Amino acid sequence: MSVTLDSIPALGVGLGLRGAYVDDLLAGDPVVPWLEVVPENYMDRGGRLRQQLLACSERYALASHGVAMNLGSTDPLDFDYLRSLKRLIRNAGMLWASDHLCFTGVGDRIYSELLPLPYTEEAASHLASRIRVVMDFLEVPFLVENVSSYFEHDVPGAMRECEFVTRVASEADCGILLDVNNVFVNSMNHGFDALEYLDTLPFDRVRQMHMAGHAIDGDVRLDTHGAAVADEVWDLFEEAVARLPRAVPVLLERDQNIPPLAELLEEVERMRRVLDARFPVLAAGS
């Protein structure tokens, strides 16, 4: 495993940097230890957005969580994108970076949505080889996130999702950003056992976790980031934390129906209590 993964600190529970509450984040004392930044919102942009990001970097630890690396695409890697991302990571002092196990477009169609890949050996090897290139290029610890999905490609020899994530991370020698809500959403959409999924994952590679809310639309669970975390996801979070060999940073995602910051912080506090119960030594030192 890449030694650089160990440089990701156990920062506790953070929030996504969002315009809805950035002024609150910059007023008074820091409300969380770290922030996760969607780099595409800041890459090659200046003015006030950039100022806000740099101001946050002076008060919070930052990590990059991209949505446009298009890791699973069979198009060539976009090195203009990677150069811009690397520049931003360095300028803002971000400690690690992550993106998703998906594709967002191919050929002359780039849709900017996280689209599901087939869980094949070919896709796993393709992803792993590209992730290795990305890690070499970015020179920061790099994690890949399991995505929510609303169907699974029916292809011969397909693995289970948990096996696919494991295979990619092992072959790429990268970390895993475990999105607990996505595991739950997919378990409902595709009918698998979420605990079995967790049991399959190599938790020594899990170096960050996401928590978020979702919606129910008919027979589909949608990963909307638009509601409070569901009770079942809290339960799964406790199961995931119990499997961690070390404390890792956890992040609450909220992108729609964003409530007042104080309301988000209540969920942050609940996550912190779960982490503290699992890693009391860290809690005592915090």
Cα–Cα distances in Å, from 280 out to 32, 238, 249, 275? Answer: 19, 15, 15, 8
**If DSSP codes are grouped into helix, strand and coil, which group holds residue 65?**
strand
Q: Which residue in 39, 118, 175, 249 binds another protein (CB under 8 A)?
A: 118
| Two structure tokens written together for 68 | 């446009």
Minimum gap (Å) between residue 66 Cβ and another protein: 10
Please identify, using beta-carbon distances, which residue of 187 and 241 lies nearer to another protein: 187
CB-based contact 88:42 (threshold 8 Å): yes
123 is a contact residue toward another protein (CB under 8 A): yes
The DSSP symbol for 148 reads P
Among the candidate windows 107-115, 138-146, 191-199, 264-272, which touches another protein by CB under 8 A?
Answer: 107-115
Please identify, using beta-carbon distances, which residue of 104 and 181 lies nearer to another protein: 104
Please identify, using beta-carbon distances, which residue of 18 and 207 lies nearer to another protein: 18
Q: At 164, which amino acid appears?
A: F
Please identify, using beta-carbon distances, which residue of 110 and 228 lies nearer to another protein: 110
CB-based contact 222:256 (threshold 8 Å): no
Q: Which residue in 10, 77, 81, 270 binds another protein (CB under 8 A)?
A: 81
Between vectors from CA 111 to CA 108 and to CA 117, what angle results, nearest 5°?
95
120 is a contact residue toward another protein (CB under 8 A): yes
Helices (H), the chain: 22-26, 47-59, 79-92, 121-138, 161-172, 180-190, 194-200, 231-243, 261-278, 280-285
110 is a contact residue toward another protein (CB under 8 A): yes
119 is a contact residue toward another protein (CB under 8 A): no
Q: Which residue in 12, 16, 73, 211 binds another protein (CB under 8 A)?
A: 73
Q: Which residue in 27, 28, 46, 231 binds another protein (CB under 8 A)?
A: 46
- Count of residues binding another protein (CB under 8 A)? 39
188 is a contact residue toward another protein (CB under 8 A): no
Binding mask 124-153 for another protein (x = CB under 8 A): --x-----------------------xx-x
CB-based contact 130:117 (threshold 8 Å): no
With 0-12 CB in 10 A as exposed, 13-18 as middle and 19+ as buried, what is 164?
buried
First to last CA, the chain: 28
> Could you tell me which residues come within 8 angstroms of residue 264 by beta carbon, excluding any fewer than 6 positions away?
15, 21, 252, 254, 258
Minimum gap (Å) between residue 112 Cβ and another protein: 5
Minimum gap (Å) between residue 174 Cβ and another protein: 19
Minimum gap (Å) between residue 111 Cβ and another protein: 4
51 is a contact residue toward another protein (CB under 8 A): yes
Please identify, using beta-carbon distances, which residue of 88 and 201 lies nearer to another protein: 88
**If DSSP codes are grouped into helix, strand and coil, which group holds residue 280?**
helix
| Two structure tokens written together for 59 | 């008060």
The residues binding another protein (CB under 8 A) are: 40, 44-51, 68, 70, 72-74, 81, 103-113, 115, 117-118, 120, 122-123, 126, 150-151, 153-155, 220
